[in-house]
């Protein structure tokens, strides 16, 4: 009874019927050639796809020693010492010939070189100099066996070096292990053809099948091959802001078997099939119809306000943390006092206070006065006043946006208000310090976001976390300030000189200092800026800059960060 039901199902199943029709038209030998031909073509296609990879690494994807700053898709020297600047990416390459291309920028007075090594630096494949006039260097290497490749850049300690991109392109690769894969698949097809299909042919089939069934199945099988028309060789998805799955062979170069090959291959193909980027765009356009969109990293509210996940959580400071923060601030103040430095700290209020959205109004009810109470506690116990321009920014927000809608940073307008709050405190100790006015700047407007070190306009970091970089809600004209004073020179990324100034200042903070420093440079003769949230370090540890502070001998030390970064106060003291 069970066998009869199975037979009836197979008789009615169009797919099996179609296969039977094809097989009946040819003898076993011709059918074997036909299947072997298809298998060979598919295997060669996958071999070509797997070994046509071009590995592309932006400078920011490489590993760095200390003394650098991240710029758009690259990395640049900042207070770097002589020696290795970047290294990596430790990509495992099969035996074959490759072309390695390094894109860079080098100032005229700088010196730099690079090399290509394997075996963790023990085997040198090539070494050459980087010249300011070239900006790109190419070199071919030949590998006799599979190994990890490392490309290192060396900095002379003078001038500026920026590593923009490293590209590794295969020119010829010996795909010997995939021949084994081809033989394995061929054997499976052989068994499938002679054992399973031969048995199916003995069953009673429904005759005179409709032509529409044949057409449907033909179109169906053609559609199955469409995703394989182009396999992306990208290393990173710009839309999703993540690294894509890499191909892991069935048999590695050591001869070992990959027991998770099916799962690994599925992840690789799912990340790279033809048309995937367009499907992602359609998917997120459908999601955008919802009024409230949340991912694990960011949220988009109904009025086109974007928030990082930590921006929607309430700041808490336990009693234990309060005591620890106080001790660390006291340690910082003592260091400044011993070296005749005036210390100031400004905490930028959270974005949630300024979002024009009904859902945020409900969220604000969860907020308490934790930070104001902590600031009051520090004032009473250490007689140190932390600047917290909550009310000033609220008043300024009535006339223009103090925070970007699609990014977690404050705008130029918000930073200018924060600068005025700092100057109000500074003038108590330095009455003759110059305060920048709006007339000192060229004012312009743009719907895009400018908040990072490269000073370029884009859609915004938070929006990018939601993978909507091609369709952000850029519907606000933000106010931007660009200084007119020709006496202000940027000596390097973190150093500025103003011949009209009188005092020296050291600015320590996170990315909120980027929109803040263009105003601050008007008030000081020399400024040195240290950005604290640069990988691999993300802390306010004083020992990171102690030596340079003592050498620079500033009159003023300014600590600036946003409310969500307050917990880093625990890191000031080692």
Total domains, the chain:
3
DSSP3 helix / strand / coil % (the chain, rounded to 5): 40, 25, 35
Q: Is residue 486 domain-resident? A: yes
Q: Is residue 191 domain-shared with residue 135, that is, in the same domain?
A: no
Q: Is residue 450 domain-shared with residue 510, that is, in the same domain?
A: yes
Give the whole-angstrom CA distance, residue 38 versus residue 185: 11
Q: Is residue 545 domain-shared with residue 476, that is, in the same domain?
A: yes
pLDDT score, position 189: 60
Which residues of the chain are under the pLDDT cut of 70? 1-53, 172-218, 221, 238-242, 252-256, 283-296, 302, 356-368, 467-472, 486-487, 489-493, 535-537
pLDDT score, position 538: 76
Q: Which of 405, 417, 475 shows the shortest CA–CA distance to 446?
A: 475
Q: Is residue 130 domain-shared with residue 213, that is, in the same domain?
A: no
Q: What's the N-to-C CA distance of the chain in angstroms?
A: 78
Q: Is residue 77 domain-shared with residue 31, that is, in the same domain?
A: no
Q: Is residue 268 domain-resident? A: no
**pLDDT per residue over 126-146, tens digit each?**
999 998 888 899 999 988 888
Q: Is residue 101 domain-shared with residue 193, that is, in the same domain?
A: no
Q: Is residue 166 domain-shared with residue 186, that is, in the same domain?
A: no
Reported as half-sphere exposure (CB side, CA atoms, 13 A), residue 132 has a value of 9
- Answer with the one of 205, 230, 255 that is the final residue of a domain: 230
Q: Is residue 247 domain-resident? A: no
**pLDDT per residue over 289-304, tens digit each?**
554 455 557 777 767 7
Q: Is residue 274 domain-resident? A: no
3-state SS, residue 524: coil
Q: Is residue 341 domain-shared with residue 437, that is, in the same domain?
A: yes
- As given in the structure block, the two tokens for residue 573 are 């003291």
Query: Using an 8 Å Cβ cutoff, are 469 and 239 in contact?
Result: yes
CATH number of domain containing 153: 2.60.120.260
pLDDT score, position 49: 43
pLDDT score, position 536: 61
pLDDT score, position 197: 53
Q: Is residue 331 domain-shared with residue 417, that is, in the same domain?
A: yes
Give the whole-angstrom CA distance, residue 99 versus residue 93: 12
pLDDT score, position 288: 54
pLDDT score, position 560: 96
Q: Is residue 43 domain-resident? A: no
Give the whole-angstrom CA distance, residue 337 versus residue 491: 28
Q: Is residue 206 domain-resident? A: yes
Q: Is residue 479 domain-resident? A: yes
Q: Is residue 412 domain-shared with residue 541, that is, in the same domain?
A: yes
pLDDT score, position 47: 47
Q: Is residue 297 domain-resident? A: no
- Answer with the one of 153, 173, 193 that is the final residue of a domain: 173
pLDDT score, position 58: 86
pLDDT score, position 228: 75
Q: Is residue 215 domain-shared with residue 108, that is, in the same domain?
A: no
> Which residues neighbour 6 within 8 Å (Cβ) at sequence distance 6 or greater?
none
- The residue range of the domain holding 190 is 1-37+180-230
Q: What is the CA radius of gyration of the chain?
A: 31
Q: Is residue 389 domain-shared with residue 531, that is, in the same domain?
A: yes
The Cα angle at residue 177 between residues 171 and 183, in degrees rounded to 5: 125
- Answer with the one of 131, 158, 173 that is the final residue of a domain: 173
């Amino acid at each position: 009874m069970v066998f009869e039901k199975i037979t009836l199902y197979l008789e009615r199943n169009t797919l099996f019927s179609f296969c039977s029709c094809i097989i009946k038209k040819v003898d076993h030998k011709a059918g074997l050639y036909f299947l072997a031909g298809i298998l060979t073509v598919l295997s060669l296609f996958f071999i070509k796809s797997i070994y046509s990879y071009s590995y592309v690494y932006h400078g920011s994807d490489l590993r760095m020693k200390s003394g650098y700053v991240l710029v758009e898709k690259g990395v640049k020297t900042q207070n770097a010492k002589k020696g290795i600047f970047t290294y990596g990416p430790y990509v495992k390459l099969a035996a074959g010939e490759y072309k390695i291309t390094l894109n860079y920028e080098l100032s005229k007075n700088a010196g730099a070189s690079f090399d290509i090594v394997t075996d963790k630096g023990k085997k040198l494949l090539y070494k050459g100099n980087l010249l300011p006039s070239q900006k790109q260097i190419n070199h071919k290497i030949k590998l006799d066996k599979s190994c990890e490749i490392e490309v290192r850049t060396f900095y002379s300690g003078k001038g500026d070096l920026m590593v923009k991109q490293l590209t590794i392109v295969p020119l010829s690769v010996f795909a010997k292990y995939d021949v084994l894969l081809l033989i394995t698949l061929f054997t499976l097809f052989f068994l499938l053809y002679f054992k399973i299909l031969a048995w199916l042919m003995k069953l009673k089939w429904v005759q005179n099948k409709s032509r529409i069934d044949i057409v449907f199945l033909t179109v169906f099988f053609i559609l199955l091959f469409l995703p394989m028309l182009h396999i992306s060789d990208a290393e990173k998805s710009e839309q999703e802001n993540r690294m894509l799955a890499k191909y892991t062979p069935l048999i590695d170069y050591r001869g070992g078997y990959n027991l998770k090959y099916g799962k690994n291959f599925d992840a690789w193909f799912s990340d790279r099939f033809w048309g995937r980027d367009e499907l992602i765009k359609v998917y997120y356009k459908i999601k955008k119809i919802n009024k409230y969109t949340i991912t694990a990293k960011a949220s988009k509210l109904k009025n086109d306000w974007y928030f990082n996940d930590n921006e929607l959580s309430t700041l808490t400071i336990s009693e234990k943390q309060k005591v620890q923060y106080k001790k660390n601030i006291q340690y910082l103040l003592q260091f400044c006092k011993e070296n005749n430095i005036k210390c100031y700290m400004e905490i930028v209020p959270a974005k949630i206070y300024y979002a024009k959205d009904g859902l945020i109004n409900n969220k604000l009810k969860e907020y308490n006065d934790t930070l104001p109470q902590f600031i009051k506690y520090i004032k009473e116990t250490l007689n140190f006043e932390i600047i917290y321009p909550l009310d000033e920014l609220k008043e300024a927000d009535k006339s223009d946006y103090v925070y970007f809608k699609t990014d977690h940073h404050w705008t130029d307008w918000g930073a200018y208000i924060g600068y005025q709050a700092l100057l109000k405190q500074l003038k108590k100790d330095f009455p003759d310090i110059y305060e920048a006015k709006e007339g000192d700047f060229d004012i312009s407007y743009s719907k895009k976001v400018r908040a990072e070190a490269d000073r370029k306009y884009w859609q915004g970091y938070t929006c990018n976390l939601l993978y909507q970089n091609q369709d952000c809600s850029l519907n606000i004209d933000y106010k931007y300030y660009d200084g007119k004073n020709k006496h202000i020179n940027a000596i390097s990324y973190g150093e500025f000189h103003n011949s009209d100034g009188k005092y020296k200042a050291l600015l320590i903070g996170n990315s909120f200092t980027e929109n803040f420093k263009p105003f601050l440079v008007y008030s000081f003769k020399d400024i040195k800026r240290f950005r604290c949230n640069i990988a691999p370090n993300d802390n306010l540890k004083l020992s990171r800059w102690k030596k340079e502070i003592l050498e620079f001998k500033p009159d003023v030390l300014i600590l600036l960060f946003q409310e969500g970064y307050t917990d880093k106060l625990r890191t000031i003291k080692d």
